[in-house]
Amino acid sequence: MDFSSKLLENAVNEVSQLPGIGKRTALRLVLHLLKQPASQTAHLSQALLQMRNEINYCQHCHNISDTSICEICASPKRNERLICVVEDVRDVMAIENTGQFKGVYHVLGGKISPLEGIGPHNLHINTLVEKVSQGKADELIFALSSTMEGDTTNFYIFKQIEPYGITTSTIARGIAVGDELEYADEVTLGRSIVNRIPFENSLKNNY
Amino acid sequence: MDFSSKLLENAVNEVSQLPGIGKRTALRLVLHLLKQPASQTAHLSQALLQMRNEINYCQHCHNISDTSICEICASPKRNERLICVVEDVRDVMAIENTGQFKGVYHVLGGKISPLEGIGPHNLHINTLVEKVSQGKADELIFALSSTMEGDTTNFYIFKQIEPYGITTSTIARGIAVGDELEYADEVTLGRSIVNRIPFENSLKNNY
């Protein structure tokens, strides 16, 4: 693209560094900002800068938090011995939205991925193993995505905590509530049959 | 969405004000910035702020420019009496990319759109009529999009400059080069037959 202004070109280049945003989309966003009052751009820049420079992470679970211990870890209503292992803050938000989980989280910050150069030492695995080795956990629930990287990460952590003999589980994979069987993929349908649950248990679920 | 941090929530809210960016996408972008070095966020904020506060517009054609007269208007190689009327800087970039136009531009800054509250006085129409009335133009080429708003804007300008009797034209609408006739919409195909050109003329086009 041939820009008529260096200022415009510079802004478009910076915006198009964001994932999933190409030059054309970046130009559209930047031209939108030019049509809006300058205060909108000021607020946006300020919010991004402030977030990046002042953000904190919970010392217990590594989730993004404005306080040194996050609300979930600090709550007396949560069972801190039941730990759900997740990839990032989006997973915490998704599970919290269900209102079904009364334990605490441990945010790894990613998954083991040799292709992207992410090894176990780039993730918050040591502090998790520490909690288990100090007898601070009864059960770990693995809630990583069921991809090669997710499975690898689960297995790596499992091997580290195996000696301490605590309960481990993974979230159930199966047909989504309300979905038709005929449209489900084979792997999911297969797993949902192998990992079937007693019918009485299914009655306890609230829709 | 329930955020664990006000800083995060604030950043997501600001980003999701951009057109076509919802809360989920905004969260993904913001989390990406958190994983990158703080310098990237600093560069991004700086580039947006600087662009918004320091951007200039060409005094002749109203295109975005770092100088008071843009490169195109200042160039002795361009015919300043042949004026192409466009909506915004993206159209200028698109036409410049073709390398086929040797005149200058007039950037309106939008189209007349009563629904969005944009009237003739919100656009740079007066300065265009002025150029024509002062005898500074031989031909106007209308290159607005062929929508209701584009056609209205063309017609409004045409009525204003009609008394001065200069040549006016619109860019050709028709089947795109390389496209199959059977997939073209009826309106476009119809127009391309009505506005057919002498075969000898088509031979002059360079592919």
- Which ipTM did the prediction report? 0.84
Residue in B13, B45, B66 nearest the CB of A7: B66
For residue A41 the two structure tokens come to 């751009």
| Pairs of residues, one from chain A and one from chain B, whose beta carbons lie less than 8 Å apart | 166
Query: What CATH number does the domain containing B143 carry?
Result: 3.40.1360.10
B33 and B72 in a single domain? The answer is: no
| Residue A135 pLDDT greater than 70, yes or no | yes
Same domain, yes or no: A72 and A166: yes
Residue B13 lies in a domain: yes
3-class state of residue A118 by DSSP: strand
CB–CB contact A10 B51 (8 Å): yes
pLDDT in tens, A140-165: 999 998 889 999 999 999 999 999 99
Among chain B residues, CA nearest to A30: B48
Domain assignment present for B14: yes
The range of the structural domain enclosing residue A15 comes to 6-54
Q: Can you say whether residue B170 is alpha, beta or left, with left for phi > 0 and alpha for psi between -120 and 50 degrees?
A: beta
> Is B177 a domain residue?
no
In a domain, B85, yes or no: yes
- Specify the pLDDT at position B56: 92
Residue B59 pLDDT level (bands cut at 50, 70, 90): very high
Are A167 and A72 in a shared domain?
yes
Q: Which residues in chain B touch residue A46, judged by CB atoms under 8 angstroms apart?
A: 45
Percent pLDDT > 90 in chain B is 74
Q: Which residues of B touch A56 (CB under 8 A)?
A: 5
**CA B60/CA B70 separation, integer angstroms:** 8
B189 band by pLDDT with thresholds 50, 70 and 90 = confident
What pLDDT, in 10s, does the model give residues B115-126?
A: 989 999 999 999
**pLDDT of res. B192:** 83
Residues B84 and B167 in one domain: yes
| Cα–Cα distance measured from residue B132 to residue B161, given in angstroms and rounded to the nearest whole number | 7
What is the distance between the terminal CA atoms of chain B, rounded to a whole angstrom? 52
Tokens of A128: 């998790």
Higher-confidence residue of A183 and A51: namely A51
Pairing of strands B139-142, B103-107: unpaired
Which is more confident, A86 or B192? A86
Residue B206 lies in a domain: no
Task: Examine the domain organization and report whether A81 and A31 are in the same domain.
Answer: no
A206: pLDDT confidence band, cut at 50, 70 and 90? low
Eight-class DSSP state of B56 = E
DSSP H or E segment with residue B2: none
All residues of chain A having their beta carbon less than 8 Å from the beta carbon of residue B49 are 41-42, 45
Domain count for chain B, please give it: 2
pLDDT above 70 (res A207):
no
* SS3 state of residue A137: coil
Assign B205 a pLDDT band (cuts: 50, 70, 90). Answer: low
Residues in contact with A19: Cβ distance below 8 Å, sequence separation at least 6, in sequence order: B28, B29, B32
